[in-house]
Structure 1
Amino acid sequence: METGNQISELATAGNGKFLCVLGAGESGVGAAFLARKQGFKVFVSDFGQMNEKYKQQLQDWNIDFEENQHSEEIILQADEVVKSPGIPEKAPIVKKLKAKGIPVISEIEFAGRYTKAKMICITGSNGKTTTASLTYHLLKKAGLNVGLAGNIGKSFAYQVAAEKYDHFVLEISSFMLDDMYQFKADIAVLLNITPDHLDRYEYKMDNYADSKFRIIQNQTGADYLIYCADDEETVKGINKRKITAKKLPFSIQKKVEQGAYLSDDEIFILTDKGDLNMYINELALQGKHNIYNSMASGITAKVLELRNETIRESMGDFKNIEHRLEHAGNIAGISFINDSKATNVNSTWYALESMNTDVVLILGGVDKGNDYTMLKELVKQKVKAIVCLGKDNKRIHEAFEDDVEMIVNTFSAAEAVQMAYHLAKKGDTVLLSPACASFDLFKNYEDRGRQFKAAVKEL
């Protein structure tokens, strides 16, 4: 890393545009690599400590960077800034950039300029990763030249720089969408809109919904919007917007003319590019929420004119992603399920809804202003005990003290697993589905899930 005057020369040396990247995670480092390849002068700035792997990559590519600070005298000279989705709009450096009129964009927006690949973009409060992974699996098995990126896998920008894909399946969060302007989805998939991350949206559901609906911006009549017709917020948002893309709804509650619907345990997919039907017991992913995810992926596959045999085969042999309702073991007749990726109440609702045994539920972590009301009915029906895993469990106790016989506090994955094992009996399920972020006791939800699985193995 260079310091002082050497760095400030970045903004003035040479003729190339000066791009600054804020946040040196997977997306930021990938954006820096692509920018360098496109002839930009590049500077990467991270307000926290950088991962050694990313430092090494930037050094290998001869890209200047800093950590534990934002040097405003450099950053505010940028022609354009690529911002990590984790940095909020109200961060001081972002406010200063906006005040100066310097464009602040996402890695997806930046990378989209440098590829002609078809974009299949998947967003929603829940099910994004599963649906993106399943869609990628379908396309890859059909022989398409396809990349998987966004909130999942290697950064989109890095893949645009290093590979030549014809299609990309992108898992896109609301934070990414907030900084996307010219980018266009050829196929936009909107799974659902339920309260999440409201702290970033002034605690207003409409603001969060508006963010999700940015997935359809710039779409034309040649493009597709695939959406859940059973999701109240999504339907409300569609009804108040002029949508030019072809609309393909999916529903398990009613028949649709085009899109997908469920009838007597059979899914029917109907599109202008062909139809498909298959029984839900043929699907690798079980549970009501996964019928929705499979419908969204199946419609996408038909729009791309994949063969029905390939779709059926892929839908049947797909292996679910790690930390999403992942089977973690069976000890003394007790099943252990790792759903650490459930970082909001709605995800935990889906997990509980798919359980057909008595449950010992492991809940807790960093509460993002959760409203636990929607879980109460399912907890009463299915949960015999709650094991809290977090530093502050007060709100969980308050929410469920009248609904379960026992709520206990634990402060490590090992302790939580031991306690849950003692509270469960043969035939029960121990479900880690925390409904909260993990940062109080763990590095991230993956760390939480892996510690849970390791603790199960130790029993």
Structure 2
Amino acid sequence: MGANSYFRNKKVTVMGLGLLGGVGDIKFLAESGADIIATDLKGEAELAPSLVVLKDFSNIRYTLGRHELADFRGRDLVIKAPGTPLDSPYVAEAHKHGTPVTMWAALFARFAGEMGALVVGITGTRGKTTVTAMVSVVLRTAGKKVIEGGNVQGTSLLPHLPELTRDTTVVLELDSWKLQGFGEAKISPNIGLFTTFYADHLNYYKGDPSAPLRTGMDAYLADKANIFLNQTEKDTLILGTQVEAIIKEKYGDQIKGKLLVASGLSSEWHLQIPGEHNRYNAALALAVARELHISDEISKKALEAFKGVPGRLEFLREVRGVKIYNDTTSTTPESTIAALEALGPAQTIVIAGGTDKNLPLEGLAGKLKEAKGVVLLAGSGTARVVSSLQEAGGSRIYGPYEVLAPAVTKALELVEPGDTILFSPAFTSFEMFKNEYDRGEQFNAVVQKL
């Protein structure tokens, strides 16, 4: 049965209308004839861009600014949003009434598997976006038919279902929330790749009330582990060296497929993007290519031509001899540390700060104190940065600024020709910006006006 036929007349509740790509999935369901309830805690004004796209569909009903338990009863399927609370009463209501609960990426991956496509899934605290892009560019250079998605901004997956064939390779970037859906669906990618594992999202993963000894980190790793827990002996798990030990220790007896650990990248391979962390990422992409029998010659050509991903240590421009980089997707201390190590902290002014995720900051403070200066943005995590920097001996600290443009102006006042300005927040964005992409776009706009 085709996907369109499968969804016809199905009663589907979509929990989280979204602004970053989910609207395309809802549109596909509506075009397929599903009976849809779309419910979101955001109000009509905030969701206006998505509502405009869907305005002509009479088979979509909306519950906005709230959720209602009634919308989760008597349905054939509930599709929940990433980040839905683990103890959500609405998800519990669906389960109570025997309604399957899934997520967009898991739903797409299930259909892809049934249609014979190969699914490559990539997860990790750091590196997953870049590795996803690298794998995709290598496969395309090799002439493969590729569908790329998952965490990719502004993309929807379900509209690609009609394109799937046995010759398609699906490359999915999968965060821990999307992998919750894989766990609920009891599926894993044919090739699972795990880049790195660090503390993250501890404002969400607060431990498991049903298992008091299970920490937030354990719960976070448990969701990540769905990248391989439902693999078979025909499948492959590729680990980065940073995550190898913890996966083998915690889950070694649950790995059913072939296990590979990516080796380092040859010094003869010259990447355009800076940093040892990007050479690590390229080595992981190369491991996928080799597993798919793509020659090193093709992989080298593709990876050496790869120019990076927007918002990930992205070089924007040079102003009066000062290079400016946008690393807005840095939402953890480790990613900002990696960016500083790639560029060299001594001649770098860092613009950082934002919304706290309750992550350890000692390592970040130690690296920031090596920087030429730190310009801080306002946010719940910023006071902790100041405190940690003071304990570490402190770099020159400026701010916090509640508006981005003055922060950039201050950074420009502090630099000399040959220096670097690095926008790498190390925190999430939600107090000053809609999301990390909005944050990055605002930074780009400020820089282009310089």
- For the aligned pair, the TM-score class normalised by the smaller chain equals 0.7 to 0.9
What is the identity percentage for the equivalent residue pairs of Structure 1 and Structure 2? 30
Q: Tell whether 2:200 aligns with 1:196.
A: yes
Counterpart of 1:49?
Answer: 43
**Which stretch of the first structure deviates more once superposed, 20-29 or 442-451?**
20-29
CA contact (8 A) 1:34 1:111 kept: no
Equivalent in 83, 86, 102 of residue 83 of structure 2: 86
What secondary structure is seen at the aligned counterpart in 2 of 1:347?
helix
Q: Which amino acid aligns with 1:358?
A: Q
Mapped contact 1:373–1:399 kept (Cα < 8 A): yes
Q: Distance in 1 between matches of 2:193 and 2:8?
A: 40
Query: Whole-Å Cα distance in 2 between the matches of residues 63 and 428 of structure 1?
Result: 56
Alpha-carbon shift at residue 62 of structure 1 (Å): 4.1
2:343 is paired with a residue whose SS is coil
1:21 aligns with 2:24: no
Shift of 1:240: 3.9
1:31·1:110 contact (CA, 8 Å) conserved in 2? no
In the TM superposition, residue 188 of structure 1 has moved relative to its aligned partner by 0.3
1:157–1:183 Cα change, 3 Å: farther
Q: 1:323 aligns with which of 294, 298, 311?
A: 311
CA gap of 1:49–1:193, structure 2 versus 1, over 3 A, is: same
Q: 2:299 — aligned with what?
A: 311
State the SS of the aligned residue for 1:199: coil
Give CA deviations for 1:315-335 in whole Å, capped at 9, x if unaligned.
111121111001122122221
Does residue 333 in structure 1 map to residue 329 in structure 2? no
Q: Deviations over 1:132-157 (max 9, x none)?
A: 11111111121111111111142222
Q: 1:447 aligns with which of 435, 438, 443?
A: 438
Q: Is 1:295 matched with 2:298?
A: no
Match for 2:172: what amino acid? L
2:422 alignment partner, one of 426, 431, 435: 431
CA offset at residue 301 of structure 1?
1.1
Please give the alpha-carbon distance, in whole angstroms, between the structure 1 residues aligned to 2:48 and 2:160: 21
Q: Is there any run of 5+ residues in structure 2 with no aligned partner, and where?
A: 1-6, 208-215
CA–CA distance in structure 2, aligned partners of residues 57 and 110 of structure 1: 22
Q: How does 1:1-400 map to 2 (within 5 A)?
A: 16-25=9-18, 26=20, 28-36=22-30, 40-49=34-43, 51-66=47-62, 67-115=64-112, 116=115, 117-153=117-153, 154-161=155-162, 166-180=168-182, 181-202=185-206, 204-231=216-243, 234-237=246-249, 240-250=252-262, 260-262=263-265, 266=267, 279-280=268-269, 282-356=270-344, 357-381=346-370, 383-392=371-380, 393-400=382-389
Aligned AA for 2:101? V
Please state whether the residue corresponding to 2:55 is helix, strand or coil. Answer: helix
Does the Cα contact within 8 Å between 1:21 and 1:31 map onto a contact in 2? no
Shift of the 373–17 alpha-carbon distance from structure 1 to 2, 3 Å rule, reads same
Change in CA separation of 1:400 and 1:109 when aligned onto 2, cut-off 3 Å: same
CA 1:229–1:98 in 2, change beyond 3 Å: closer, same or farther?
Answer: same
CA distance in 2, matches of 1:133, 1:142: 14
- SS of 1:261's equivalent? coil
State yes or no: 1:415 paired with 2:406. Answer: yes
SS of 2:203's partner is helix
Cα RMSD between the aligned structures? 2.3
Q: CA deviation at 1:161?
A: 4.5
**2:273 aligned counterpart, secondary structure:** coil
Shift of 1:388: 0.6
1:375 deviation in Å?
Answer: 1.7
| Distance apart, 1:33 and its partner CA | 4.0
In 2, Cα distance between equivalents of 1:241 and 1:283:
37
- d(CA) in 2 for partners of 1:72 and 1:238? 37
2:395 aligned with 1:404: yes
Q: Which amino acid aligns with 1:96?
A: E
Q: Distance in 1 between matches of 2:219 and 2:378?
A: 29
TM-score using structure 1 length: 0.85
Q: How big is the shift at 1:345?
A: 1.1
Residue in 2 that maps onto 1:9:
none
SS at match of 2:61: strand
Q: In structure 2, what is the Cα distance between the partners aligned to 1:36 and 1:388?
A: 45
Name the CA distance, whole Å, in 1 between partners of 2:175 and 2:50: 22
For 1:71 and 1:113, locate their aligned partners in 2 and report how far apart those are by CA, in whole Å.
28
The answer to whether the Cα contact below 8 Å between 1:28 and 1:83 also exists between their aligned partners in 2 is no
Tell me, in whole angstroms, the C-alpha distance in 1 between the residues paired with 2:317 and 2:340. 18
* Number of residue-to-residue matches in the alignment: 421
Residue pair 1:105, 1:179 contacting (<8 A) in 2 also = yes
CA shift, 1:416, in A, is 0.8
Mark the CA change 1:62 to 1:184 in structure 2 (over 3 Å): closer, same or farther: farther
Which has the larger displacement, 179-188 or 411-420? 179-188
Report the Cα offset of residue 195 of structure 1. Answer: 0.6
